[in-house]
């Protein structure tokens, strides 16, 4: 009887955990199969396998252009966030703590407010005050920079707190270093892991983002998300090509996230239940 009581919960646990693993692996597995399948309309597994979709994808000028555009945008957004946010956080730590409430308040906005609302707001606001910016990739880059800013902010802010930037700054100043020299030679080397983590999160957000791209620029700047949607629901849907793109995108986002977990060994795996440490999907 004792055995029964202990067996039953562990059976339930086993079923639940197995179910979760299957649930998490099935969609990825099906996409992988699609990327290598010939025809797949009759049985649980494809009728045959081929690598031709990958070769065709590499030779497709539209796909290559889409990849380059998405990559270029993500790099631009990452650079923008590094250049704008690092000085702001640095200054907040060493000189003006009153900057912090402003950063925290605005960082909460993309965390709780749907991207579709932010995109709509940017569209409406720029329509009123800056019609020339409408539909440009620059406005999109600024928008991505804004919605990805919390991830970068939290990563770098944590790094600055951990490195005790204020103390480092005092010490370097006592030794007579100029502010720029302190930033370049003392602060940046100490927070580089935080900057790397933040940059990867920003890059991943921009690379995979859909709402702002669709609402702010649409077909004028076709990214991976828009092209994927076209291949999924458009008139000339192509699941095999879509599978290749999806596997590729997932690979990029996954390697970035694995790298950022590796850089923050020991603390990067779970997420604190506080505004300040998750990646929004």
Partner 1 sequence: MGQALSPEGTLSRQGGRSPSLRQALTRWLVNWLPALPMLVLAYGLLAAPVLALLLQSFQGDDGHFTLVNWVEVLTSRGDRRAILTSLLLGSVSATTALLVGAPIAWWISQLLPRGRSLWLSLLNTATNFSGIGLAFGFVAILGNYGMITLAFQDLGVPFMPPAPNTFWGLVLAYNYTNIPLFILLTIAGMGMLRQDWWEAAQTCGATQARFWRSIGLPILAPFLGAGWLLVFTWSIGLYGIPFALAGNGATRKVSLITLVIGDSLQASISGQGEAAVLAMVLLMIAVISLLTYRWMLGRTARWF
Give the nearest distance from C-beta 226 to partner 1 in angstroms: 8
CA distance 261 to 241: 30
Q: Which position among 173, 214, 259, 264 is part of the footprint of partner 1 (CB under 8 A)?
A: 214
Stretch touching partner 1 by CB under 8 A, among 13-21, 61-69, 70-78, 167-175: 13-21
Is 6 among the residues that bind partner 1 (CB under 8 A)? no
78/249 with CB nearer partner 1: 249
User: How many residues bind partner 1, per CB under 8 A?
Assistant: 92
CA distance 62 to 120: 28
24/55 with CB nearer partner 1: 24
Q: Which position among 202, 243, 244, 276 is part of the footprint of partner 1 (CB under 8 A)?
A: 243
Q: Any long-range contacts for 163-169 (C-beta under 8 Å, 24+ apart)?
A: 163/187, 163/190, 163/191, 165/90, 165/93, 165/94, 165/190, 165/191, 166/93, 166/94, 169/93, 169/94
Stretch touching partner 1 by CB under 8 A, among 48-56, 156-164, 191-199, 273-281: 273-281
Stretch touching partner 1 by CB under 8 A, among 36-44, 56-64, 162-170, 189-197: 36-44
Contact pattern from residue 252 through residue 271 relative to partner 1, giving x for each residue in contact according to CB under 8 A and a dash for the rest: -xx--xx--x-------xxx
* Cβ burial 26-58 (10 Å sphere, 16+ → b, else e): eeeeebeebbbbeebeeeeebeeeeeebbeebe
What values do phi and psi take at 111, rounded to 5?
A: -75, -40
CA distance 142 to 146: 6
Residues of span 55-114 touching partner 1 by CB under 8 A = 84-85, 87-88, 90-92, 95-96, 98-99, 102-103, 106-110, 112-114
């Amino acid at each position: 009887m004792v055995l029964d009581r202990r067996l039953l919960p562990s059976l339930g646990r086993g079923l639940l955990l197995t179910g979760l693993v299957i649930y998490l692996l099935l969609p990825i597995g099906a996409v992988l199969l699609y990327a290598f399948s010939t025809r797949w309309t009759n049985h649980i597994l494809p009728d045959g396998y081929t690598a031709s979709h990958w070769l065709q994808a590499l030779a497709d000028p539209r796909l290559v252009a889409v990849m380059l555009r998405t990559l270029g945008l993500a790099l631009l957004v990452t650079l923008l966030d590094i250049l704008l946010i690092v000085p702001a956080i640095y200054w907040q730590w060493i000189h003006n703590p009153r900057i912090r409430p402003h950063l925290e308040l605005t960082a909460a906005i993309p965390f709780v407010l749907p991207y579709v609302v932010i995109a709509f707001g940017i569209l409406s606001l720029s329509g009123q005050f800056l019609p020339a910016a409408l539909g440009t990739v620059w406005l999109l880059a600024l928008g991505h920079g804004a919605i990805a800013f919390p991830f970068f902010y939290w990563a770098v802010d944590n790094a600055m707190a951990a490195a005790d930037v204020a103390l480092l700054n005092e010490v370097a100043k006592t030794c007579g270093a100029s502010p720029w020299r302190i930033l370049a030679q003392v602060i940046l080397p100490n927070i580089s892991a935080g900057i790397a983590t933040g940059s990867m999160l920003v890059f991943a957000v921009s690379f995979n983002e859909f709402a702002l791209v669709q609402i702010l620029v649409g077909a004028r700047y076709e990214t991976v998300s828009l092209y994927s949607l076209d291949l999924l629901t458009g008139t000339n849907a192509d699941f095999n090509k879509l599978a290749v793109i999806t596997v590729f995108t997932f690979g990029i986002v996954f390697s970035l996230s694995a790298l950022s977990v590796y850089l923050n060994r020991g603390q990067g795996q779970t997420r604190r239940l506080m505004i300040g440490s998750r990646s929004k999907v």
